[in-house]
Each structure stands twice: as structure tokens, then as C-alpha cells.
Amino acid sequence: MSKATAIPTAARKAVRKRDHERCGRCGSFNAHDIHHRMRRRDGGHALSNMVLLCRFDHEWVHANPAKAREQGFIVSAWGDVENQPIKSWRGEMILDNDGGLTRVAR
């Protein structure tokens, strides 16, 4: 089994900046985990594939995959991570690969 590649420092910093050092799900300032929405081998370290989470929500995502998929925190390998919004504490957001986000108008 190959070792997972480390998240590049620049990508890690960009995710933390985009998410304002807050959990992308609950808004907690106690966010230290960068979660890959799509498996690394399928989505890599694209900024649209990563979101900052607190430990509680990171564990919740992995323990509740069906709900996490509904909220956009898990995206299947054949999904479109760049156009799959997350249901964030800030509302529904599309994460882009430039380190930005766009609120989904409903």
C-alpha cells in the first residue's frame, strides 16, 4: 500500500485562508483537520476537494457518509467536486480551485 501524499503547504494555507480558520461545517474556530471531500487518489489536493473541519465534524463526516454526501462533504469518485456545494455554516457554497468560494443562490 502506498503512503498518502502530504498536502502541499501552499494548498494547506489556501484552504485555511479561504475558510477563515473556521470549520467549514459548524463554524468553530477549533478547526485543524483538512478533509478531502473526494478520496485523494481521485480528487487529489485540488482546493475544491478540501475543506477545513474541526475534529468533531471530521469524525462525523466519516461516521455518517450518507448525510455527509447530502451536505457535500463527501463526493463520489465519479462526482463533480468542483460543482458540488457544501452545506456550510455560511450557507451553501461552491469551493473553487483558486482558493475562493461562491454562495449558491437558491
- Rounded to whole angstroms, the Cα distance separating 11 from 76 reads 21
Residue 1 pLDDT level (bands cut at 50, 70, 90): very low
pLDDT of residue 66: 97
The strand order across the sheet containing 91-95 reads 86-88, 91-95, 101-103
Q: What is the pLDDT of residues 52-87, one digit of tens each?
A: 999 999 999 999 999 999 999 999 999 899 999 999
pTM of the model: 0.92
Average pLDDT over residues 74-102: 95
Domain ranges of the chain: 9-103
Question: Quick check: helix, strand or coil at residue 15?
Answer: helix
pLDDT tens digit sequence for 2-56: 457 899 999 999 999 999 999 999 999 999 999 999 999 999 999 999 999 999 9
The confidence score (pLDDT) of residue 58 equals: 98
Could you give the CA distance from residue 98 to residue 106 in angstroms, rounded to a whole number? 23
Neighbouring C-beta atoms of residue 19, cutoff 10 Å: 23
pLDDT at residue 2, as a whole number:
47
